[in-house]
Structure 1
Amino acid sequence: MINGWTAAGFEDVAGVFELNFADRGELGAAFAAYQHGQLVVDLWGGTADRETGRAWDRDTIQLMFSGTKGLASAGVLLLMQRGQVSLDDPLSRYWPAFAAEGKDAITIAEVLSHQARLPWVEAGYADLLDHDVMSAHLAAQAPAADPRAAFMYHAITWGWLVDELVRRVDGRTVSRFFAEEFAVPLGLEVWIGLPEELQWRAATMVAPDGVLVDGPWTELNRPNPLWVPGAEKIWNSFEYGSAGLAAVGGFATARGMARFYASLLGEVDGVRVLTPETIELGRQEIRRGIEPTWGSEIAYGAGFELQTPDARLGAPADTFGHAGAGGSRHAAWPSRETAYSYLMNEVRVGPDDRSLTLLSALSRGSRATAR
């Protein structure tokens, strides 16, 4: 059931990965890590499709929901590195229609850190997969009056806002921009929107038993359309896979995502896209506080999640990255020169130790092998 390898010093990670299947009911998953620019963990196992029994193999690709936000954030940082935008710029400077209904002063920093007061779409989600329609809805929409919206996770709307910024400044979609500026030069098995010819490699997502809920969204009668009963039909559809949603439409192998975050820490096979200075800018804390969707402390840099007391991205204090709905985790630990990715196809809500146990084992290995 378990395949792959680990470098010397990381053997414990493989043991924990196997225990996730034996003791924690893992269905299908992959875990990979880089240290000092080299792959040191590459593990996979279980079932990619429960209905057909298809095994998870080395080339299985997985939807990662909000893990996508780390990729899109890197795209905005590259625009900053080139001097094309800055964090303090109002979004309306590049997207004039966005100034409607008093939104003219909302900055790029506020958008990236979930402070744009647009956590839902008042017009609804009938055109969920049509970027032009959904971005137009947000441009016309007034900021939410509910005080909780001042710092509320923009689960899906974040992507339309960021994608529109990139389109206005660069002319390419976030999907194409990431592919051409990051994925191709770095050799990444990572996509924002999965090409048609690769969809057969994708694992099938499995929703948890019971009702998916979204806290304040549900209270306000604005449910997240991707987090309601039956939503797995959307997750696993060809149309969703192809849409390239910049907030929640990324696909990858764990190996590819670990390599991406490794490239943010230094050269990988001689290639680095973002400079150390740009990464420091991206890691600079913009907002920290109790986020009402989760009811816990959340901290954001320029789109990246930062360390908080629950340490859900790992123990090092300088961690940055992004988690995905249902349990996936992707991040970098600069002080350890370590980057990792955990992907799985069984979505869980509530307590979930699958990734945390792997990160504890990775932490032990990265300390023992640190330079």
Structure 2
Amino acid sequence: MAEPSPPPSIRGFVAPSFEPVAEAYARAFAEAGDGGSAFAAVRGGETVVDLWGGTAAPGRPWAEDTLQVIFSGTKGLVATCMLMLVDRGALDLGRPVAHYWSAFAAKGKDGVLVRDVVSHRAGLPGITLAPLAAADLADDEGMEARLAAEPLSPDPGAYGCYHALTIGWLCGGLLRRIDGRSIGRFFAEEVAAPLGLDIWIGLPPALEPRVGVLELGPDWDDGLTPEQAASSTYRSIWGNPPLFPREGTPWNTRAYHGAEIPGGGAVASARSMARLYACLAEGGGLDGVRLMRPETLAQGRRELSRFTDPFIDEPMRFATVYALQTEQHRFGPPADAFGHNGAGGSIHAAWPGQRLGVSYVMNQLRSDPRDQRSRPVLEALHGVIADMPG
């Protein structure tokens, strides 16, 4: 029997019974006027959806092997690394960060616990001691040192707000002092290589030609409200340096792709992100590779914080770095979904109840909540799975 094919405007494949997902993807793609994107779903060890379309860069179609910056989707990779340390008995969420990283105790931070760091409650959402250049973000060890020297924020709102990039360097600093490796190297050797993943926190030079070029969509909102403009905490998170400049974005440069920016700089394919989350949906093991024990992952999925970010007015729930489902249902219909979304529209999640990993990546950044590109595709996928026996 011939394998079902997606609509002509879209390339890739879907497994039998998953045709509605291809139709939803093609329809959403046409309605959104997307630049380029890919969507994948993996159930167990089987890829059941692998679709792509549009352009990766001006004059270059999105290809089967196109890679894309996934911004905060990187945090799901960080979460996995941190839980692997927990699983090995090397990291205790209840201990002070300074127990592992002595320099971190500076400026009164000796009481900050690891669980505070991994749940966006450390009180270190941005850098306040000095203005940063874009190039500074590409120096992971330098950013770890800056955070070790940074005082705790005097702003109460900083203890229940999204630590957009600093959570990556804080976790990377912990991992480096416990394991000796950088977080990018740890992920490459302990996660990506065993599972056969096209995911990098620090992209090798030879893979640079495969990376799609990011662009800001027509609805991208880069203006500040008066309240945001007046907040020094907000400026330290999003404006030191400005993360999404309209002209000459550093996220399209080789310097950023090759750097280890664990809060937002990973480069990946949708099919590999879906495979990683399929492993997590199965309790941390897939195709003979076990990243962690199921009980460790169950602990790592437990809610540690819940807040409405005071600076971007968004409800958030976090476990050990992983984001949990909220009333926004970013990760599709399942209530038990967990993972992480990325700036501009990418979505990466495990659906444990369905034993499924999903990922949507794209190169045209859109603003929430207006961005609806992935939602109908996730809903169609959920509908297909719900109709399947067993």
Per the normalisation by structure 1, the TM-score is 0.96
One-letter amino acid of the counterpart of residue 261, structure 2:
L
Q: 1:86: how far off?
A: 1.1
Is the 1:212–1:227 Cα contact (8 Å) retained in structure 2? no
Question: What are the equivalent positions in structure 2 for 1:296-307 lying under 5 Å apart?
Answer: 296-307=314-325
> Could you say if the C-alpha distance between residues 230 and 282 of structure 1 is closer, same or farther in structure 2, counting changes exceeding 3 Å?
same
Distance across 1 between alignment mates of 2:248 and 2:159: 30
> Could you say if the C-alpha distance between residues 324 and 250 of structure 1 is closer, same or farther in structure 2, counting changes exceeding 3 Å?
same
Distance across 2 between alignment mates of 1:15 and 1:269: 30
Structure 1 residues 308-317 or 174-183, which shifts more?
308-317
Does 1:194 find its partner at 2:203?
yes
Residue of structure 1 aligned with 2:374, choices 335, 342, 355? 355
Residue of structure 1 aligned with 2:19, choices 11, 16, 19? 11
What is the alpha-carbon root mean square deviation over aligned residues?
1.6
Distance across 2 between alignment mates of 1:281 and 1:124: 38
Q: Which residue of 2 aligns with 1:27?
A: 35
Q: Which residue of 2 aligns with 1:73?
A: 79
Q: Which residue of 2 aligns with 1:310?
A: 328
Q: Which residue of 2 aligns with 1:336?
A: 354
Q: 1:176: how far off?
A: 0.3
One-letter amino acid of the counterpart of residue 167, structure 2:
W
Does 1:251 find its partner at 2:267?
yes
Is the 2:301–2:322 Cα contact (8 Å) retained in structure 1? yes
Q: 1:102: how far off?
A: 1.4
Residue of structure 2 aligned with 1:135, choices 144, 166, 171? 144
Question: What are the equivalent positions in structure 2 for 1:141-180 lying under 5 Å apart?
Answer: 141-180=150-189
Q: Which runs of 4+ in 1 moved over 2 A?
A: 208-211, 213-221, 223-233, 265-270
Structure 1 residues 294-303 or 75-84, which shifts more?
294-303
Instruction: Map Cα deviations across residues 172-205 of structure 1 (whole Å, 9 max, x no partner).
Output: 0000000000000000111111111001000000
Instruction: Map Cα deviations across residues 128-161 of structure 1 (whole Å, 9 max, x no partner).
Output: 2112222111111111111110111111111110
Give the match's secondary structure for 1:93. Answer: helix
**Structure 2 segments unaligned to the other structure (5+ residues):** 1-8
Give the match's secondary structure for 2:164. Answer: coil
Instruction: Map Cα deviations across residues 321-364 of structure 1 (whole Å, 9 max, x no partner).
Output: 00000000000010111110000000011311101111111111
One-letter amino acid of the counterpart of residue 121, structure 2:
Q
Structure 1 residues 267-276 or 95-104, which shifts more?
267-276
Is the 1:182–1:273 Cα contact (8 Å) retained in structure 2? yes
Does 1:320 find its partner at 2:326?
no
Q: 1:226: how far off?
A: 5.0
Give the match's secondary structure for 1:57. Answer: coil
Give the match's secondary structure for 1:9. Answer: coil
> Could you say if the C-alpha distance between residues 178 and 231 of structure 1 is closer, same or farther in structure 2, counting changes exceeding 3 Å?
farther
Is the 1:211–1:228 Cα contact (8 Å) retained in structure 2? no
One-letter amino acid of the counterpart of residue 53, structure 2:
G
Q: Which residue of 1 aligns with 2:280?
A: 264
Distance across 1 between alignment mates of 2:26 and 2:185: 36
Question: What are the equivalent positions in structure 2 for 1:164-243 lying under 5 Å apart?
Answer: 164-209=173-218, 212-213=222-223, 218-221=229-232, 222=235, 223-224=238-239, 225=241, 227-230=243-246, 233-243=249-259
**Structure 1 segments unaligned to the other structure (5+ residues):** none
Distance across 2 between alignment mates of 1:214 and 1:163: 30
Q: 1:229: how far off?
A: 2.6
Is the 2:52–2:62 Cα contact (8 Å) retained in structure 1? yes
Is the 1:226–1:234 Cα contact (8 Å) retained in structure 2? no
Distance across 1 between alignment mates of 2:387 and 2:312: 34
Q: 1:295: how far off?
A: 1.1
> Could you say if the C-alpha distance between residues 228 and 183 of structure 1 is closer, same or farther in structure 2, counting changes exceeding 3 Å?
closer
Question: What are the equivalent positions in structure 2 for 1:103-118 lying under 5 Å apart?
Answer: 103-118=109-124
Distance across 1 between alignment mates of 2:228 and 2:178: 31
- Report how many aligned residue pairs link the two structures: 369
Residue of structure 1 aligned with 2:46, choices 38, 48, 61? 38
Residue of structure 1 aligned with 2:60, choices 48, 51, 54? 54
Q: 1:317: how far off?
A: 1.1
Per the normalisation by structure 2, the TM-score is 0.91
